[in-house]
A and B are shown apart, each in its own frame.
Chain A
């Protein structure tokens, strides 16, 4: 395998892992409530920026990261309680507008609480690149990939082996039936928002040493995460991960071999093509519409 191709693959996998984490956040909330949370990107931003603040206050990095994840989770829970829960029963488009309004609000607050500058986080284990087969990989990329895998494993265990997780899956399949067996749909929604907030924050902290963080990085990341979730099939966890990795790889390869100016066009054309041929996404359920 040529060193150049390897370099592109490393870049693609790193970006793809981040998209996967954001996409998972979308999927989890969608599963619980059919809501697309356009403020997901903002969770990523808050995770990174909050860590920067806590570091400035003198906390060691692991503690700062933990505090930032907690803060973001609180924000996510607040978003659910104050906005989404009150709007249950509204149409899909209305809910979209509400979450978009939330993302604007969060961005505005971020620019006030923090500043408009770009900030970096220190890499977890240093900056020295690792040479591998002629290409170089940053240690932080390994962290991104490793932690993402760990999170996936943890989520799989949660959804398939614990009662709470299974309750959430049940709500996704059939909210009415879930309520009938005593599952509180409101609690499920709350937990899914909290979980997505934590996931987003983790993604933000993992990737900030490589890509930097600022008050407005949420917009693009949210968009790409949404695209990845759709590509993989909305509501499917493995689909979100697959979608994220595919998107990251397509972008890197297009930038390297076709044209870096048009790489986004390439990525979206591929998404459009996939959607036209497989309207449910790569791993999406072939929804049968009941009449």
Chain B
């Protein structure tokens, strides 16, 4: 039993669940709950993005676009067309997933920096459309979003949202862990190693890449829709280039090809700005410096570096 706990998969999952259960002991006011919820929502996006960047070896500099589209889709269906929010959310997520499928097929033929540019362009296009079509989207000032409601009762209050997001995060992590250990996951990692070699042994790289792309887009859209309903507000900047960079940074920071790394990265980079506000004008400088020097000294990200250190210690 203890050996199973030691295995990264179950052990990590149990640790995460424990952390989520115990965290409310330190969350003494709504603001702290708010930060925790935002960490959870970012973590959901990052788990998906990590599958794309860390395991499949692709890159996306436009993922915030899917995030924003998920949020706006749900908001527009609920506000402009009067749909109940519990219907609007899944429909919006499915819509964005479909879009990712259609767009992904041609784009994923590109590699490296060209793929980065294509995803970046996609993100810019999405943001401009969201900003310009103000009859639907409310324009650059954004629009308000009604809260999630079940049978007339709105899901309000930070506490309820915390448990909802926590449960969803655990589900996502569990899903990702299973995916990575499955044959499909192994195919992905083979792809990352060498696309040519993978194809030689019969792996359809295009199909696998597309599947991961679509999955990560869907997760981003779901997180985006949840964020919109939680905040009660959404603006086009949620889909902007700077936000996409933030997400990629969280993934790389936490550790590529590490699902728990994605969670850690999201946690650190969401809370860091809150801690740095006391630095006032120096916040940007410190943030940039932290990003740079962490990546220089821990190029594989926090979790893999710490894990390697730990392994070295225990071996000695």
Please list the residues of chain A having a beta carbon within 8 angstroms of any beta carbon in chain B.
30, 36, 83, 86-87, 89-94, 96-98, 100-109, 111-112, 219, 223, 226-227, 230, 234, 261-262, 264-265, 268-269, 271-272, 275-276, 279-281, 289, 291
- With a cutoff of 8 Å between Cβ atoms, the chain B residues found around residue A92 in the complex are 59, 112-113
B253 touching A111, Cβ below 8 Å: no
- Complex Cα–Cα for A87 and B292 (A): 10
| Residues of B253-290 contacting chain A, CB below 8 A | 253, 256, 281-290
- With a cutoff of 8 Å between Cβ atoms, the chain A residues found around residue B55 in the complex are none
A112 touching B281, Cβ below 8 Å: yes
A264 touching B124, Cβ below 8 Å: yes
- With a cutoff of 8 Å between Cβ atoms, the chain B residues found around residue A30 in the complex are 113
B253 touching A271, Cβ below 8 Å: no
Pairs A–B under 8 Å by Cβ, sample size 18: A30-B113, A90-B295, A90-B296, A92-B112, A93-B256, A94-B300, A100-B291, A101-B288, A102-B288, A102-B292, A108-B283, A223-B124, A265-B124, A265-B125, A272-B121, A276-B110, A289-B196, A291-B196
A97 touching B291, Cβ below 8 Å: yes
A109 touching B253, Cβ below 8 Å: no
| Residues of B107-126 contacting chain A, CB below 8 A | 107, 109-114, 116-118, 120-122, 124-125
B287 touching A104, Cβ below 8 Å: yes
Please list the residues of chain B having a beta carbon within 8 angstroms of any beta carbon in chain A.
53, 59, 106-107, 109-114, 116-118, 120-122, 124-125, 128-129, 132, 194, 196-197, 241-242, 245, 248-249, 252-253, 256, 281-292, 295-296, 299-300
- Complex Cα–Cα for A112 and B300 (A): 32
- With a cutoff of 8 Å between Cβ atoms, the chain A residues found around residue B107 in the complex are 272, 276
B287 touching A86, Cβ below 8 Å: no
B284 touching A108, Cβ below 8 Å: yes
Provided the pairs A264-B124, A276-B109, A289-B196 are in contact, do residues A94 and B288 lie with their beta carbons within 8 angstroms? Answer: no
Min CB distance B46 to A, Å, is 14
Min CB distance A263 to B, Å, is 9
Out of A101, A103, A104, A276, which one reaches B106, CB within 8 Å?
A: A276
B121 touching A262, Cβ below 8 Å: no
Min CB distance B308 to A, Å, is 15
Min CB distance B177 to A, Å, is 22
A86 touching B284, Cβ below 8 Å: no
Min CB distance B246 to A, Å, is 10
- Complex Cα–Cα for A227 and B121 (A): 8
A103 touching B288, Cβ below 8 Å: yes
Min CB distance B41 to A, Å, is 21
A83 touching B292, Cβ below 8 Å: yes
- With a cutoff of 8 Å between Cβ atoms, the chain A residues found around residue B242 in the complex are 219
- With a cutoff of 8 Å between Cβ atoms, the chain A residues found around residue B252 in the complex are 93-94, 97
Measured CB to CB, the nearest residue on chain A to B106 is A276
- With a cutoff of 8 Å between Cβ atoms, the chain B residues found around residue A280 in the complex are 114
